[in-house]
Amino acid sequence: MRQGIILAGGVGTRLWPVSRRQSPKQFQTFLGKKTMLQQTYDRASKLVGKDNVWLVTIKDHQAQTREQLPKLNPTHIIGEPSGRNTAAAICLASQTILATDASAVLAIFPSDHYIGRPKDFHQICKDALAFCDRHRDYLVTLGIEATEPNIGYGYIELGQPIADEKDCFVSVKRFHEKPDLKTARRFVRSGQFLWNSGCFFARAETLNQLFDRHAPQTSAKVREYLKTKNPKIYQSIEGESFDSAVVEKARQRAVMPASVEWSDLGNWEALYQILLAKSDTSNIVVGQHQGINSENSLIIGRHKLIATVGIKDAVIIETDEAILICQRDAVQDVKKLVEKLDELGHDKYL
């Protein structure tokens, strides 16, 4: 049985002040009328069926998840006592599913990514699941064509094509964490690297074996938590990403190159670029704006008129309680700003 897992525990600090602790970016409508979470659920349910979609989020967000996804089986919303990063979340979901479906093949998706070509994405995911049927011990990921030296993404270094799979599936030589700009440029020039999409496919049994082998403490603590429901056990799990805990250590790994107009929507510049591709002007405006000699900017207002004079290459975001103003080339530092606000005790704005 195909089962889909949606990871919805992120906080999206680089999209502050719209993305907040109580309502992070997956619950927001950045693109279209549906939230990022609702769009991800639509893609997952079309792939595996609505009865086979599972979701992992922190317990504080369970009620909001049920409100946004009324068709999702409430028993399939897995609440973490606290966020312990993606390794723990995926381990928790895979062990939960394996207890009910010993033959499950899993499709794992972040809840907050943009897919511009959902039909192509659907077919690629079907092919990836079928690959897991043919190659039962493999962990599969989708790799996105690296069109620019983006330092906000992890990279996948391509190995050799997998026998009898033509060029559709390639072995993974190595996973690389987010590089510096010089390294990213070298990766893109070589043509041997793809962006890591964060989408994974594997048999649940295979995945649990990988956890037992490469992240045994996480695996053991998740099992103990599922037996006892003691939140302190889960909270004691080391906060490690799935990539570093399992993916980078697995031996049988495959990547399927995917051209689906993908973005992890990790910051305001990413949103600007998506909307710019659909616009005939350099200013991307949501809400009321009047400007003179202002260009190449992202301007989002919810209540007030935003007037600009001589503003170029800027991001201006207005919400009920806060206004963000920054240069487009500094959007990665919004996370540092949020951390500073946290240090100063400005919880009401977070």
Mean pLDDT of the chain: 93
The per-residue pLDDT for 288 is: 87
pLDDT for the residue 302: 80
| DSSP bridge partners of 5 | 54, 108
Q: Region 209-230: what's the mean pLDDT?
A: 96
The mean pLDDT value for 233-258 works out to: 93
Q: What's the token pair of residue 50? A: 């609505």
Stretch 78-83: mean pLDDT, rounded? 93
Dig out the tokens for 12 from the structure: 């999206």
- The partner residues of 158 in beta bridges, in order of sequence, read 172
Query: If pLDDT is split at 50, 70 and 90, which confidence band does 1 have?
Result: confident
The 8-class DSSP code of residue 349 comes to G
- State yes or no: pLDDT of 165 exceeds 80: no
Kindly report the three-state secondary structure assignment for every residue of 183-232: HHHHHHHHCCEEEEEEEEEEEHHHHHHHHHHHCHHHHHHHHHHHHHCCHH
Per-residue pLDDT at 167: 65
Please give the pLDDT value at position 162: 87
The residue behind tokens 């009324």 is 70
pLDDT tens per residue across span 105-120:
999 999 999 999 999 9
Please, where are the H alpha helices in the chain?
Answer: 36-48, 62-68, 85-98, 118-134, 181-190, 204-214, 216-228, 231-235, 242, 268-276, 334-343
- Does residue 32 surpass a pLDDT of 90? no
- Which of 330, 303, 329, 296 shows the shortest CA–CA distance to 317? 303
Measure the CA–CA gap between 155 and 149, rounded to whole angstroms. 10
Instruction: Please report which helix (H) or strand (E) contains residue 110, including its range.
Output: strand 105-110
Q: What is the pLDDT of residues 275-331, one digit of tens each?
A: 999 898 899 998 888 889 889 999 998 888 999 999 999 999 999 889 999 999 999
The mean per-residue pLDDT over the stretch 147-174 comes to 87
pLDDT band at 11 (very low <50, low <70, confident <90, very high): confident
d(C-alpha 282, C-alpha 294), whole Å = 9
- Close Cβ partners of 189 (under 8 Å, ≥ 6 residues apart): none
pLDDT for 7 beyond 70: yes
Reported as a single tens digit per residue, the pLDDT across 167-210 is 689 999 999 988 999 999 999 999 999 999 999 999 999 999 99
44-53: per-residue pLDDT in tens?
Answer: 999 999 999 9
Asked if residue 37 has pLDDT above 90, the reply is: yes
CA 107, 113, 119 angle in degrees (round to 5)?
65
Residue closest to 136 by CA, chosen among 105, 175, 113, 100: 105
Cα angle for residues 209, 212, 217 (degrees, 5° grid): 160
- % of the chain with per-residue pLDDT over 90: 84
| Radius of gyration of the chain from its Cα atoms, rounded to whole angstroms | 21
For residue 20, the model assigns a pLDDT of: 92
